[in-house]
Structure 1
Amino acid sequence: MNGALEEPASRLDLETVQLEVVWNAPIGIALVDQRLQVVRFNRALAGLHGLRSRAWPGMSLAEVFPAEEATRELLWRIQQVLATGRPFPWLELEWGRVSCHPLHEGLEVVGLCLYVEEVPEPKLAREALQVSEERLRMSLASASIGTWDYNPATGEFLCDSRTQALFGAPPDLRMDCERFFSIIHPEDRERTRQLVQRAESPESGGGYETEYRVIGIQDGVERWLSAQGRAWFDEQGQLLRFSGTVLDITHRKRAEASARFLSEASRLLAERLDRAEEILERVARLAASSICTYCIIGVARADGRLPRVAAAHREPSQEHLVQAALRFVPQAPGTSPLLEGVHTGKSALIREFTQEVRQRYAVSPEHLALMNTLDAHSVMTVPMRAGGKVHGMMILAACAPRRRFDDQDLSLAEELAHRVGMSLENLRLYEEARQAVGLRDEFLSVASHELKTPLTSLKLQHALIAKSLTPECRASLGARLPKAMRQVERLTTLVDSLLDVSRIGAGRLGLEPIEMELTGLLREVMERLSEVFAQAGCRVDFPATPPVHGYWDPLRLDQVLVNLLSNAAKYGAGKPIHVRVAVEGEWTRLTVRDEGIGIAPGDLPRLFSRFGRAVSERHYGGLGLGLFISKQIVEAMQGSIRVESEPSRGSTFTVELPLCPPA
């Protein structure tokens, strides 16, 4: 039957049409005579067009289709089928589509067969649109996005409830452009106005995207918003509409600002370890310029007292007030709630610093009057904890009329206080270490001086014994006395090194520079160490070099040369040592290269440190002070010393010294 309906019958023979099948077909079907009157129609067509009777009335097609302009065109097309006998497959209309085919009796067209399909009714479309809009509203709400729309013709500025809330406005407040710009933060207002004006120009493409701060109209809360929008224009370039969205990004912006603040605070805290007052003053000033209006920092003593250390105010004109407030910060334990955090280690967030709360914190009527002058509306007291103890207290106050601290502010303040506490703990440990180093250097100095006296006496006694020995006694002693004398010399060298270390630690390594010649001193040192080279099996390669004159301390330079050459013999035993001296401009360069065991890359950074060693003390001995002292001497003469080395390929030490005396 479906095929029969799609392929027109050869003649209008109603008896051959299976009426029941036509009646139940899912597509609308109508049989029409030459007068365009309906002879038959089925259930689907009746349902589409509200035809209630199953009877086959002879109604006109004009009564079946909707009365509109498109129906007149449809009827004209149907008449053309009657006239020409040529069908039209499908005619798309607003409410549906129609296909019309001729019915023939011989060559004559005696009627028409119409197939009708209808699109969803406008009601269904409206319902679908409402569902879509509701889904959009739910999506925007879940994303915390607000929408707005501006009509330049009427000046109407429409905002949804979310946008009203982000603007801190009551739901019934009518917005306009001027009121919108008035709530933007003063620092962002002009920039935002320029962006909006640019978007209202057709040449810009109408796009608008920016971030700005707003101050709530009713609640006074500062919020960061991310705004996007688009302007629409007519063919003449006139602005028709401007609409967009706003998204609350306050949390992200505050997190970014907190990270920048803590990074800057950490940089300040890491600059120095010996000037706590100066660093805390800078931290207080940083806090006052970023997260609060004024900041006071006190460091706790062992007895629980809280002496004032640092204070700062954001406004220079109010600086004297916060400095005056320092006089009223209680110092004795138990005298004010302000010090509770020192004893409990807990922070306090006072969201509303009311008159009643101020009276409770004030230590005198003058203090209360000063509090009222400063007029803080919200206060945080945060202990500075580290190393299991409280090092002090930070007091942060907000004086802006609608500024109130919240839990996020308290977390930021606690992190700052923790870092300040860690810095104070490091300062304490550093001071203890410095004192311990001072005591050690003092002990080394005293011990070295005490050892020098018996060593000097021992050397003198050895010399007298050597002179008084008869040839027979000298022959019987053999090499014992020279060995004893060498051990005394070695012990003297070690004591001198310890004494130099104590002098360096105390800043008393003195120099007595004179005009001298380097190559002659170098050959003298090599001659003095000839026995050391012989015992190590090292040949010294030092070619003839012209004299090099400079302004140095000969005794200290001698000490550097002895250290470098003796180390080369010690660690390059059995292999040659290469020594070179060259002059380049205003500098002379001395290099000592051995072909010994070399130094591992990981040991190079600490080679010139105090007691720094790159080899086993058990196998090579020594205190690890020679290179440290040499570096201090060279740098005291405005020079430099460095090393290049590879394991099993030897080491090259380079000393560079200025030829002229320092200015």
Structure 2
Amino acid sequence: MDDAGPLVETSPAARLRSCKRDVLERWTRRVLDDPRAVLAQRKGRPVLVDEVPRLFEDLIEALAASRRAELRAGEDAALQSACERVEAHARLHGAQGCCIAAALRELSHLRAVLIEECAAQGISLGVREAQVLHAVVDASMWTSALEIEATTRAALEDSAARLRLATQAGGVGVWDYDTVTGKLRWDARCRQVSGVGPETAVDYELFVSAIHPDDRARVQEAVLRSQDPQSGGEYSIEYRLVGLRDRIERWVCVQGRAFFDAAGRSVRMIGTVIDISDRKRAEAERLEELAFRDRFLGALSHYLRTPLTSVTLAASVLMHHGNLTPRQARSVERIAASARRMARTIEDLLDVTRSRFGGSIPIAPSPGNLHLICKGAIDELRAMQAEVPIRLDVHGSGAGQWDPERVAQMVTNLVQNAVDYADPGSAVEVAIRARGEDVLIEVHNDGPAIAKERLETLFDPWQQAPAGERTSTGRGLGLGLFIAHEIAKAHGGAIEVESKAERGTTFTARLPRGVVEARC
């Protein structure tokens, strides 16, 4: 027992321990210089940089225990303990989810560096010590691999369980297509929406046969397009399926992605399918309702025009030839004003019908001065809206090709909207200015900002302020901005809006000066 001390001092383990810093530095350089160590290079440090110093100490202890066990025949408990610590350490960094490829490569570098250091320092390892060195490193690598594999498997199983719960809760089907062999795998939900039983073998031909004949070519084209690497492998489409057993027609939304090998060949596609039949039915019913409403309003508007024209003519005759008393004249004027408002409302309804079924509001452009057209429309509004100042500011030339009646209608709708929502006591500002080949008409009012969620549908028909907000004092059908936008579009222009609480609201209509073909 007494001769153990001097032997330890001169043993390979002790000499290696004195070179620890050199070993770790050489190991770090080898790992970072390894072209395969992408993960370590990206981080700028080895993956096991925090674990290897302790592993080095465990390995040195194993070498020392090996020498003592060899001299004291059979006394290898210390060696066993050192090896167990190495394996425990390997399990630890395995459980932490270390990249298995990077960990094993760095452990192999550690083995190589230790052997190189022994050669450089003239350290002679005995047979037993060499066996221990290799066994300890191999044990660490093996244990690391097993622990990382177990951790990875557990994570995958957990992920798969979560995916199953999510897809079941959302009614999502999952499919997997081997584009090389043609083998197709459908889960239970995919089979259900396709009307296929669990006993039926599935392949690409069966998938195609379940597609509605009118959608089949479109779907196959989308599949082929996804097989081109230039497409990014994206596959996204909506189409109809006809159940192979139940013959029920269903709409589905299918999302997927193709994967390619090194040569750019598609080898696999995976994706999901969702039954959207209820949504499609609701959309179809909504479109039918809108079409019916538009047809009804168009017919009603045409029907009302004849009796309304009679009322207007009668009021005009009474005003000019009726020898009316002042009180009677005021009553007739109210009848005429009401008839004019009704006529404008009917024209709005007809415009909606024309834009829905004819594609755009009809216009008849001719040479004219936009400044004069806008001034005439604003003068009429000033007479009716005396309590709200309306200011007009013009710059540049107003010459161009316009439909004067339609442009006046657009300006009237924009300014009336600004008047309706302006802060009490504030003015509505109208500015006309040139920008290149276009003319801009800007209508500004100080007032509450338009809610962000309303901006997206502001120019849709039938849009009115929600309950609790101020509503228009005009015709009140929610058609003014829609018709203004359609008039600008018919002229080849557009209308944009900017609304901020601190700056108010500005509608900007852009109208090109050029000749626009008349639309009837």
Structure 1: distance between partners of 2:464 and 2:252: 41
Question: Which residue in 2 is equivalent to 1:587?
Answer: 438
CA contact (8 A) 1:298 1:392 kept: no
Question: Which residue in 1 is equivalent to 2:287?
Answer: 434
Structure 2: distance between partners of 1:331 and 1:601: 43
Question: Which residue in 2 is equivalent to 1:38?
Answer: none
Structure 2: distance between partners of 1:609 and 1:314: 33
Question: Which residue in 2 is equivalent to 1:570?
Answer: 420
Question: Which residue in 1 is equivalent to 2:77?
Answer: 127
Question: Which residue in 2 is equivalent to 1:456?
Answer: 309
CA contact (8 A) 1:294 1:313 kept: no
Shift of 1:485: 0.9
Structure 1: distance between partners of 2:471 and 2:456: 18
Question: Secondary structure at 1:479's aligned position in 2?
Answer: helix
Structure 2: distance between partners of 1:256 and 1:250: 10
- Structure 1, unaligned runs of 5 or more: 1-47, 49-64, 72-90, 95-118, 146-207, 212-224, 261-268, 270-279, 320-328, 343-388, 397-408
Question: Which residue in 1 is equivalent to 2:332?
Answer: 481
Q: What letter matches 2:315 in structure 1?
A: H
Q: 1:640 aligns with which of 480, 490, 494?
A: 494
CA contact (8 A) 1:298 1:393 kept: no
Question: Which residue in 1 is equivalent to 2:476?
Answer: 622
Q: 2:377 aligns with which of 525, 541, 545?
A: 525
Structure 2: distance between partners of 1:448 and 1:522: 28
Structure 1: distance between partners of 2:389 and 2:489: 29
Q: 2:211 aligns with which of 292, 300, 308?
A: 308
Q: What letter matches 2:108 in structure 1?
A: R
Alignment of 1:154-193 (within 5 A): none
- Structure whose residues are more often helix by fraction: 2
Question: Secondary structure at 1:657's aligned position in 2?
Answer: strand
Question: Which residue in 2 is equivalent to 1:363?
Answer: none
TM-score by length of 1: 0.45
CA contact (8 A) 1:568 1:593 kept: yes
CA contact (8 A) 1:288 1:312 kept: no
Are 2:368 and 1:490 aligned? no
Q: What letter matches 1:515 in structure 2?
A: P
CA contact (8 A) 1:581 1:591 kept: yes
Structure 2: distance between partners of 1:493 and 1:393: 44
Structure 2: distance between partners of 1:315 and 1:490: 56
Question: Secondary structure at 1:612's aligned position in 2?
Answer: coil
Q: 1:447 aligns with which of 275, 300, 305?
A: 300
Q: What letter matches 2:390 in structure 1?
A: V
Are 2:230 and 1:230 aligned? no
**Greater RCO structure (CA 8 Å; 6+ sep):** 2
Compute the RMSD of aligned alpha carbons.
Answer: 5.3
CA contact (8 A) 1:299 1:307 kept: no
Change (3 A) 1:421 1:140: farther
Structure 2: distance between partners of 1:652 and 1:314: 44
CA contact (8 A) 2:414 2:507 kept: yes
Shift of 1:481: 0.9
Are 2:361 and 1:509 aligned? yes
- Structure 2, unaligned runs of 5 or more: 12-67, 121-132, 164-171, 198-208, 228-240, 257-267
- Structure whose residues are more often strand by fraction: 1
Question: Secondary structure at 1:512's aligned position in 2?
Answer: coil
Question: Which residue in 1 is equivalent to 2:272?
Answer: 416
CA contact (8 A) 2:464 2:476 kept: no
Task: Give CA deviations for 1:620-659 in whole Å, capped at 9, x if unaligned.
Answer: 7612210122122223333232333455975332222222
Question: Secondary structure at 2:275's aligned position in 1?
Answer: helix
Structure 1: distance between partners of 2:181 and 2:156: 13
Change (3 A) 1:466 1:458: same
Structure 2: distance between partners of 1:624 and 1:315: 44
Shift of 1:496: 1.7
Question: Which residue in 2 is equivalent to 1:377?
Answer: none
Q: What letter matches 1:627 in structure 2?
A: L
Structure 1: distance between partners of 2:414 and 2:253: 54
Question: Which residue in 2 is equivalent to 1:657?
Answer: 511
CA contact (8 A) 2:394 2:431 kept: no
Structure 2: distance between partners of 1:69 and 1:135: 23
CA contact (8 A) 2:370 2:399 kept: yes
Structure 2: distance between partners of 1:430 and 1:137: 63
Change (3 A) 1:456 1:605: same
Change (3 A) 1:658 1:142: same
Structure 2: distance between partners of 1:644 and 1:330: 48
Question: Which residue in 2 is equivalent to 1:550?
Answer: 400
CA contact (8 A) 2:420 2:472 kept: no
Question: Secondary structure at 1:566's aligned position in 2?
Answer: helix
Matched residue pairs, number?
Answer: 370
Question: Secondary structure at 1:529's aligned position in 2?
Answer: helix
Structure 2: distance between partners of 1:479 and 1:517: 36
Structure 2: distance between partners of 1:315 and 1:521: 55
Question: Secondary structure at 1:608's aligned position in 2?
Answer: coil
Question: Secondary structure at 1:542's aligned position in 2?
Answer: strand
CA contact (8 A) 2:389 2:428 kept: yes
Structure 1: distance between partners of 2:282 and 2:507: 36
Structure 1: distance between partners of 2:313 and 2:455: 40
Shift of 1:586: 1.8
Are 2:390 and 1:540 aligned? yes
Larger mean CA deviation between 523-532 and 478-487 belongs to 523-532
Structure 2: distance between partners of 1:531 and 1:130: 104
Structure 2: distance between partners of 1:499 and 1:125: 105
Shift of 1:484: 1.1
Q: What letter matches 1:552 in structure 2?
A: W
Structure 2: distance between partners of 1:618 and 1:451: 24
Who wins on radius of gyration, i.e. which is larger?
1
CA contact (8 A) 1:300 1:390 kept: yes
Structure 2: distance between partners of 1:633 and 1:587: 15
Question: Secondary structure at 1:515's aligned position in 2?
Answer: strand
Task: Give CA deviations for 1:225-280 in whole Å, capped at 9, x if unaligned.
Answer: 9965432142689xx989645443467689999999xxxxxxxx9xxxxxxxxxx9
Q: What letter matches 2:317 in structure 1?
A: L
Change (3 A) 1:458 1:393: closer
Change (3 A) 1:138 1:301: closer
Change (3 A) 1:549 1:312: closer
Alignment of 1:85-484 (within 5 A): 122=72, 126-134=76-84, 137=87, 210=101, 229-231=107-109, 232-233=112-113, 234=116, 244=141, 245-246=144-145, 247-248=148-149, 249=152, 287=177, 293-294=183-184, 307-309=210-212, 333=245, 416-417=272-273, 420-422=274-276, 424-470=277-323, 473-484=324-335
Change (3 A) 1:508 1:548: closer
Shift of 1:563: 0.6
Change (3 A) 1:69 1:658: closer
CA contact (8 A) 1:525 1:561 kept: yes
Task: Give CA deviations for 1:509-544 in whole Å, capped at 9, x if unaligned.
Answer: 33333333200111221233342133xx23332246
CA contact (8 A) 2:420 2:471 kept: no
CA contact (8 A) 1:578 1:592 kept: yes
